[in-house]
Amino acid sequence: MFLTLSMLAVQGGVEADQVAGSFEPFFPALVVLLPLLGFVLNGLLALSHAKRSAAAVRAGGELQLDGPGGRPSTHTLPTWIGPGVMLGAFAITVVNFVRMLGAHLEHPVVISYWHWISTSTFTVDAALQLDQLSMIMMMIITGVGFLIHVFSVGYMKDDTGYPRYFAYLNLFVFFMLVLVMGASYPLMFVGWEGVGLCSYLLIGYWFSDREKADAGKKAFIVNRIGDVGFLIAMFLLFATFGTLDFLDIFAGAEDALVYGGGAVTAIALFFLVGAAGKSAQIPLYIWLPDAMAGPTPVSALIHAATMVTAGVYLVARSSVIFALSPVGSAAVAGVGVLTALFAATIALTQNDIKKVLAYSTVSQLGYMFLGVGVGAYAAGVFHLMTRAFFKALLFLGSGAVIHSMHEALHHTHSHADAQDMRNMGGLKKYLPITWITMWIATLAIAGIWPFAGFFSKDEIIWQTAAFGGAANAPYPFLYTIYWILALAAAMLTAFYMTRLMVMTFHGSNRTGEEERKYLHKAPAVMWIPLAVLAVLSIFGGWINVPEAIRTSFLGLGGALPMSEWLHHWLEPLTAQAHHIQEVHLGELAHSAPVGGGEVAWAVASTLAALAVVIATVVLVGGREVETADKDAAPTGFGKVLYNKWYVDEAYDAVVVRPLGKASRFSWRVIDQGIIDGMVNAVGYLARGFGWFGSLFQTGSVNTYAFVLSLGVLFTLASFLF
């Protein structure tokens, strides 16, 4: 049975529900199945490798990778399988993308393979949906994913768990693709929890280290809090629509749901809980900084480029629902902008290079939430895409730095922290390509023209202003605040990223005399992905230049052949939401709350960001940084920021410990004490009765006769009266 199922899958499905235009899907199931195949193969290799490794551990040592006979085949094969399946998936995605480009697809194509869960009142198929949104996501996941797989070949070269690493990574990609290609909420949920699982496994990849295993566990549990929101939203949708397929829900949404009604608001808010969990937004962001315990390429793939953007994808996919709920949308935008600002403040003072990037990720995700919260779904997806380039680049770059630092410190058996920027400095000399490419990414994330981040971030901030100024905007004042906060967070971004660059690459080197000799530049498998991502970080933004900007000097005075390409590309999917918005909100504003048009504010913000960058280079660059062991602990407000506003401590006091107490109370007092106490009491009572009864079993005939006569007398008496 399963064989026929997989045959079906490989043939690209038999029954396409709607094949619109002339778009012919090209083996779309293979995009999903190739990474799954990679997982199975690498998984088998990992198990056979782990047996050998276990034998070495039992013999009292560690497996030596370069022992006699060279590397075992369980270590060389994953190098080809892991990135290989990704390349295949990417190639097939590109073919599909090219076909869709030429097809003017009006309606999504749904390809059903089998009935997944089916009862008489509820059916959900194992079905993939191909449309403009899923296609963009597939391009990002397989494309950036492939680059990160390649980078991993170099980064994880000497790790004893190499095949297991690639098995997890392939499995992650499989689930991520299910998440974006699934044609219904339950299937999306499969991917949703599946990527959470892989995140758990990869964060705790070095599971012997308790701290890392803890971080993985925390990520999974916090994510599950969000997942409950997702579940309840699904139940509400089912109660309303009787189905959970995307197409049916969106087609019927405007009839079944009242604009601004309680039902749609509840659905939107529960989805927001789910999205906040997966995309690390307030109040559920706490797992992401800890997630940096995983290998750095994992941070790049899962905790920067793909998985954490799933919440944004969810909102964009459900644009119709959110457009119908002004409260829900305002909540999404509010959570987003608060997170953007809050996380940026924490990033200001961190010294761990990955921690800075982690909080930066949280902050940037906040921008995307702001974007999709103000109805700018295309802008949110746009930032999702550009950020996938420059954020993956930043993480991989930091990976190259850490890799180099680690090896240098390893040679001298130094216990200094390889991720602490206070121990770095002046690395541009040793890692020139990493240095240049990371500067490109930094300028992109800081929103400086003409890098990718400029266009995407600027559009989100602009749309916030435009939305708040719409004719019938629900809470215009609120959106003005959002707009100001978003601008402020952008300035903080420029500061902390420049600080990171200066502390890492500029000034004098602080690694140590002896260690310095071993700092090495990244090998080709590592720098080539960096270079590709750098190119994308420079030019990636030009696919969606706003019309107003295109004709200005920022858009080279109209020399560009097209504007707002992504916007138009996604139009078939966002049109319904935009229509709802237009009907209820009227026309969007053309000027910012304090006046000024789109171009003026774009120029202002890029100049301001540039000023911050330059000022930071001067200020931070001029300061002498102490190494980690000599540096004084921060004081005052800096201490609060350094300790991340003490949020983890607060959660620990308010949630974690009380839950532990409640659990122990439930066990010791309620379960063992009261419930089982009563059961045992019944037992003792019964035994007591037995003992009482046994008193009469004296074996003495006289007593028996006496009791018998009493009984007879009593019975007779009862007849008499």
3-state secondary structure 274-304: HHHHHCCCCCCCCHHHHHHHCCHHHHHHHHH
State the CB neighbour count (10 A cutoff) for residue 646: 12
257 binds other proteins (CB under 8 A): yes
- 664 belongs to the binding site for other proteins (CB under 8 A): yes
Compute the half-sphere exposure of residue 622: CA atoms within 13 Å on the CB side of its CA: 6
Site for other proteins in 550-609 (CB under 8 A): none
Please report, as residue ranges, which positions from 281 to 320 form the binding site for other proteins (by CB under 8 A): none
Contact 145, 86 (CB under 8 A): yes
Q: Binder to other proteins among 40, 256, 327, 603 (CB under 8 A)?
A: 256
Q: How far is the CB of 265 from other proteins (least distance, A)?
A: 9
Does the footprint of other proteins cover residue 4 (CB under 8 A)? no
Least distance CB 9 / other proteins (angstroms)? 12
- Look-up: residue for tokens 């890692």? 431
Judged by CB under 8 A, which of 10, 600, 670, 685 binds other proteins? 670
Q: Does 238 bind other proteins (CB under 8 A)?
A: yes
- Secondary structure (3-state) at 424: coil
The answer to whether residue 675 forms part of the interface with other proteins (CB under 8 A) is yes
The SS3 of residue 245 is strand
51/104 with CB nearer other proteins: 51
Stretch that binds other proteins, among 135-143, 262-270, 361-369, 570-578 (CB under 8 A): 262-270
Residue 565 and residue 89: Cα distance in Å, rounded? 24
For residues 678-717, which are near other proteins according to CB under 8 A?
679, 683
Residue 707, token pair as written in the block: 């009791």
Least distance in Å: CB of 377 to other proteins?
Answer: 24
Question: What is the distance of C-alpha 575 from the center of its chain?
Answer: 27
| CB of 157 or CB of 224, closer to other proteins | 224
Residues 192-221 that bind other proteins (CB under 8 A): 192-194, 197, 200, 204, 207-210, 213-214, 217, 220-221
| Binding track over 176-195 against other proteins, x by CB under 8 A | ----------x--xx-xxx-
According to CB under 8 A, which residues from 110 to 139 bind other proteins?
A: 114-122, 126
18 lies in the site for other proteins, by CB under 8 A: no
Integer CA distances (angstroms), 379 to 383, 433, 570, in order: 6, 31, 10
If binding is defined by CB under 8 A, does position 44 make contact with other proteins? Answer: no
Q: How many Cβ atoms are within 10 Å of 292's Cβ, its own excluded?
A: 26
| Residue 224 or 521 with smaller CB distance to other proteins | 224
Q: Which region, judged by CB under 8 A, interacts with other proteins, from 516-524, 531-539, 605-613, 672-680?
A: 672-680
Backbone angles phi, psi at 283, to 5 degrees: -100, 15
- The site that binds other proteins (CB under 8 A) totals a number of residues, namely 72
CB closer to other proteins out of 232 and 491? 232
If one asks whether residue 262 binds other proteins (CB under 8 A), the answer comes out as: yes
Burial (CB count within 10 angstroms: exposed 0-12, middle 13-18, buried 19+), residue 442: buried
Crossing angle, helix 452-468 and helix 524-539, to 10 degrees? Answer: 40
| Interatomic CA distance for residues 695 and 685, integer angstroms | 15
Torsion of CA 139, 141, 144, 149, to 10 degrees: -130
Asked whether position 655 contacts other proteins by CB under 8 A, the answer is no
* 245 part of the interface to other proteins, by CB under 8 A: no
Q: For residue 12, give the 3-state DSSP assignment.
A: coil
Q: How far apart are CA 368 and CA 530, in angstroms?
A: 24
